[in-house]
Structure 1
Amino acid sequence: MAVRNDISGLLAYIGREGDWRARLQDVVAEHLMPALQEFEIDQDDLAELLGEQWSGVLWGCGFEDFLGRQYEDGNIVDLYLKRRGWKETVLNRAYFASLREAAVSLYEVSDVQPGVSMVLRDLLSDAAPVTVREKSASRTLKQWDRISVRVVPERDLHVISGALLPFRTEAVDFLFAGLRDALKLKKREALRLSRDQLLGCAPIFTSAWLFIEIDRALTPAQPQFTNSDGEDVLFHDLQFALAAGATQKAIAERLDLVKSLLPDGAKFWNWLSARKTRGGKAGGGIMLDTQMEGATVLGSLEMKGKTLLVTVNSAERAARVESLISAAAGDLLGPPLTTIRTVDQMRADQRHDGPRNGADKIPPEIARQLMQEHLDKHYRETLDTPIPALGGKSPRQAVRSAVGRQQVIDWLKLLENRTAKHGDGPIAEYDFSWMWTELGLEWHRM
């Protein structure tokens, strides 16, 4: 059975022709060498550094660029079809000709139908979005991913070429800067490229991707966690032993009188912020924030036997809660013993403890429903919460201006894209369409 879009014959022909083989190697070098020289690594080291799967893709970026190159003695695809085209299928001949004409560009992914198709919008031209038939990539790509690839017409459909690179946000910025510099565009000029310009700039796409990915591989970023007060996350477990003669009931009565402690049963309290929060204060990094009753949960308290166990996520909150408890029930408790854990240690403890079994295990369908309800509540509050990425405005406020509207669109895409990559489960499956509708932006999600 013939392989669809089989390039083996073309590759064999190039390998036998010395000039063309050398030209292909030169074009591949154009794509790889700027980054390799900058980071002082060899091409052979790429597979070990980035993963074996990327070696073929990166070579393919240069190969596909080479197929569109014109030399004094012609184009390799034209020459091959003239001399060996009779040995190829009609589909292969048409594919080679279309791939030769296709320019690489940066596309935004939407309407993903896993294993079937996806819609691609060219971010470097005003061309209408195009639906491409794709089985493999459509199973891994998520809504609003950005990829560099060539879109190839095939009969009455479109397909994508084999050299596909997924672009992180920082890689997109690096690419745009590189394109502006290469084309000598002013900062405020729209970044819109013709087909000929895209063909000429093909190595910049590969280089931009490589610069970011090599840098990440050599210096992997460690995520920084902060709480909603902007404090570094460091989990503190404070254990207050009951004083001689003190009872759980007596301590519970004292804690129930503290305004910021919200009871959750007879032996458990959530410590809430004194006033409703209007958005996190955290700067960089990942902010950990749990909301309840419209306020931030600062920590939790639980009576266990002859111990009051308190858990908070920063040194500052540990000091505050110790003062709070001492003022409320200090005469009934001894001084606390404190255990401190980092985020990594907390994760390790959770992995070691494993999932709960038996009667404590929540049925999957109930857990899914609870998570969906939590996310609905969280994101509905978010619409009225100041967001740093929106200039400190809430999404509802930001959409009132043209500039703010575009910022909200970008923010929603980033939010939806990151959530979709959360693995399997209710978080990754969450449907954000209602937020677009709520903000009057539903047409921008098509």
Structure 2
Amino acid sequence: MGERTDISDLLAFIGREGNWGERLQDVVAEHIVPALEEFEIDFDDLADLLGEQWPGVLWGCGFEDFLGQHYEDGNIVDLYLKRRGWKETALNRAYFEALRDTPISLYEVSDVQPGSSMVLRDLLSDDEPVMVREKSATHTLKQWDRIAVRVVPERDHHVISGALLPYSADATDFLFSGLRDGLKLKKREALRLSKEQLKGCAPIFTAAWLFTEIAHALTPVQPQFSNSDGDDVVFHDLRFPLASGVTQKALAERLDKVKGFVPEGPKFWNWLATRKPQGRKATASTMLETEMDGTTVLGSLELKGRTLLVSVNSAQRAAMVESLITKAAGALLKRPLTEIRTVDQMMAEQDSDEPQEAADEIPPEIARQLMQDHLDRHYRETLDAPIPALGGKSPRKAVQSAAGREKVIDWLKMLENRSAAHGEGPIAGYDFGWMWVELGLQKYRR
């Protein structure tokens, strides 16, 4: 619960006062047991499955809920402060009382000041965002993270309670569905809950997080990647040996005549789509694609010595480009050798020591500027590209409707959140503010 609050005396009081200990166990069980029973695991298994810190946090979710429960013979906080409050500091007494009356809710994080503060916006009410003082959590939370926690007033500011659950997109969907079911709300009815409704739904918050995290731990979800054609991303590198006696110049003359092969010098071509990409049905996969002046780059070709190197990101494109090159070059090229790599293999190669050594040769300030310039170009092109998360519409087109605008806001927050999750470096430090301004959404960036 933070360095300022020692709950040991309160716990001792609960344990020796009548049936209050059993009531606490019952409330904690309401938060945790449904998920344990569903997945047929024991509480003791959670540390190995989710991490050592989470059993304590989950117990804390139930404990904080218990502090707000009212029974026929009263409330535990009232009883404790009446009998033993003289032992607590004024700050602790005020904190227990505030925690008793504060419901849990789901908050969106912004304006994180590590070691100092952050701003939280309640996603289940229309309340104004509130700045909270916080040291430890602000070192790990990033812009637009979502957390389930209690925001407790303390003197002239706010703090958060000790039981904090970081929410993924899946957990958020699970929570919203559970709240609608529990409160018998219609699907399209806005989730704007009263303080009393939130108090009664506290176990749903814990259960939504726990169901989702256990499911992910037992069956890790592998990210799916596709290109703008909807093909699964599998990188293909084709190596065409030049036939005996064939010069680079002779082959280049043939390649220059192929529609869609755009030269970027005497030995390099970008293979561009012959038409600008059209919107496609949104899928659960992440789109990996490169664009040039709003046109999709399907692949690249490069002459190196006695070899034509061709790189594409799907089996379908590999077959297409081989057909185009074979038809254009004829006997100038031999049959290609093809190397195939998955996204995981590519990422493993990028994480190896050799690329890092090469990167270290570039001064950090130059590397940062190069990355910033690349990201600027990439995201500027993205504003006019079809995005699966936006129903296949470009961000500029999607913001023209109210529903699309909400999707674009969520999409921008997702970009910022994923970027910030990189930790340190140019990607984590990239400023997306200009994109909000470009799309006329700067007032929603709070």
Give the Cα separation in 1 of the matches to 2:195 and 2:358: 62
Deviation of the 1:62 alpha carbon: 0.4
1:421 aligns with 421
Within 2, Cα distance between the matches of 1:409 and 1:318? 36
For 1:165 and 1:356, locate their aligned partners in 2 and report how far apart those are by CA, in whole Å. 35
1:106 match: secondary structure: strand
Counterpart of 2:398?
398
Query: What is the alpha-carbon distance in structure 1 between the residues aligned to residue 322 and residue 3 of structure 2?
Result: 70
Inter-CA distance 296–72: structure 2 relative to 1 (3 Å threshold): same
Equivalence for 2:303:
303
- For 1:363 and 1:147, how far apart are their aligned partners in 2? 38
Q: Where does residue 320 of structure 2 map in the other structure?
A: 320
How far residue 14 of structure 1 moved from its aligned partner, in angstroms, is 2.1
The CA RMSD measured in Å over matched residues stands at: 2.2
Tell me the CA shift for residue 346 of structure 1: 2.5
Alpha-carbon deviation of 1:280? Answer: 6.2
Partner of 1:336: 336
Show the counterpart of 1:9: 9
Structure-2 change in CA distance of 1:369 and 1:118 (3 Å): same
Residue correspondence of structure 1 range 156-305 to structure 2 within 5 A: 156-278=156-278, 283-305=283-305
TM norm structure 1: 0.93
Aligned residues: 445
Task: Find the aligned partners of 1:72 and 1:282 in 2 and give their Cα distance.
Answer: 53
Q: Which residue of 2 aligns with 1:441?
A: 441
In structure 1, distance between residues paired with 2:202 and 2:38: 19
Whether the aligned pair in 1 keeps the contact of 2:302 and 2:308 (CA below 8 Å) is yes
- Are 2:273 and 2:297, in contact at CA under 8 Å, matched by a contact in 1? yes
Alpha-carbon distance in structure 1 between the residues aligned to 2:336 and 2:444: 54
Secondary structure (helix, strand or coil) at the match of 2:270 reads strand
* Partner in structure 2 of residue 103 of structure 1: 103
Contact 2:282 2:391 in 1 (8 A): no
Closer/same/farther in 2, CA of residues 401 and 230 from structure 1, 3 Å limit: closer
CA distance, structure 2, for counterparts of residue 6 and residue 360 of structure 1: 48
Measured after TM superposition, the shift of residue 281 of structure 1 is 6.5
The AA in structure 2 aligned to 1:9 is: D
Say which SS state the counterpart of residue 22 (structure 1) adopts. helix
Structure 1 CA distance, aligned partners of 2:441 and 2:282?
A: 28
One-letter amino acid matched to 2:346? M
Contact conserved, 2:291 with 2:381, CA < 8 A, in 1? Answer: no
The question of whether the paired residues in 1 share the 8 Å contact of 2:277 and 2:296 is answered with yes
d(CA) in 2 for partners of 1:359, 1:33: 50
Mark the CA change 1:280 to 1:189 in structure 2 (over 3 Å): closer, same or farther.
Answer: closer
Distance 1:395-1:266 versus aligned 2 partners, 3 A rule? closer
1:141 maps to what in 2? Answer: 141
Q: In the alignment, is the contact (CA less than 8 A) between 1:227 and 1:282 conserved in 2?
A: no
**Aligned letter for 2:96?**
F
Query: Following the alignment from structure 1 to structure 2, what is the Cα–Cα distance between the partners of residues 304 and 398?
Result: 43
Paired with 2:199 and 2:169, the residues of 1 have a C-alpha distance of 23
Residue type of the partner of 1:35?
A: A
CA contact (8 A) 1:226 1:282 kept: no
Distance in 2 (alpha carbons) for counterparts of 1:321 and 1:165: 49
How far did residue 278 of structure 1 move? 4.7
Query: In percent, how many aligned pairs have the same letter?
Result: 75
Aligned residue identity for 1:445: R
Amino acid at match of 1:61: C
Query: What SS does the corresponding residue of 1:44 show, helix, strand or coil?
Result: helix
Asked whether the 8 Å contact 2:142–2:417 carries over to 1, the reply is yes
1:167 CA drift (Å): 1.2
Superimposed CA distance per residue, residues 374-414 of structure 1 (whole angstroms, 9 cap, x where no aligned partner): 22222223333333433443333333333333232222222
Aligned mates of 1:392, 1:127 — CA distance in 2: 33
Contact 1:251–1:329, Cα closer than 8 Å, also in 2: yes
Deviation of 1:360 after TM superposition, in Å, equals 9.3
Code of the residue aligned with 1:222 in structure 2: it is Q
One-letter identity of the residue aligned with 1:328: A
**CA displacement 1:256-291 (0-9 Å, x = unmatched):** 343423334443332222233355677331211012
Partner secondary structure for residue 355 of structure 2: coil
Contact 1:231 1:282 in 2 (8 A): no
1:210 maps to amino acid: L
Task: Classify 1:14/1:443 alpha carbon distance in 2 versus 1 (closer, same or farther; 3 Å).
Answer: same
Superposed CA offset, 1:180-210 (max 9, x none): 2212222333322221221111111101111
Shift of 1:18: 5.2
Match in the other structure for 1:61 = 61
Contact 2:282/2:389 (<8 A) preserved: no
Deviates more, 1:231-240 or 1:369-378: 369-378
Contact kept in structure 1, 2:292 and 2:381, CA below 8 Å:
no
1:85 deviation in Å? Answer: 1.5
Tell me, in whole angstroms, the C-alpha distance in 2 between the residues paired with 1:391 and 1:339: 33
Deviations 1:6-42 (A, max 9, x none): 2122122223335222111111100001111111111
Q: Which amino acid is 2:91 matched to?
A: L
Amino acid at match of 1:373: D
The whole-number CA distance in structure 1 between the counterparts of 2:407 and 2:337 is: 47
1:25 maps to which residue? 25
- 1:230·1:282 contact (CA, 8 Å) conserved in 2? no
1:42 pairs with 2:42: yes
Over 3 Å counting, the alpha-carbon distance change for 1:264 and 1:200 in structure 2 is same
Which runs of 5 or more structure 1 residues have no equivalent in the other structure? none
Instruction: Please tell me the residue identity of whatever aligns with 2:19.
Output: D
CA gap of 1:30–1:296, structure 2 versus 1, over 3 A, is same
Higher alpha-carbon deviation: 310-319 or 379-388:
379-388
Structure 2: give runs of 5+ residues left out of the alignment. Answer: none
Q: Trace 1:374-385 onto structure 2 (pairs within 5 A).
A: 374-385=374-385
User: How far apart in 1 are the matches of 2:382 and 2:348?
Assistant: 31
Q: Distance in 2 between matches of 1:136 and 1:420?
A: 17
Decide whether aligned partners of structure 1 residues 357 and 85 sit closer, same or farther in structure 2, where only a CA change above 3 A counts.
Answer: closer
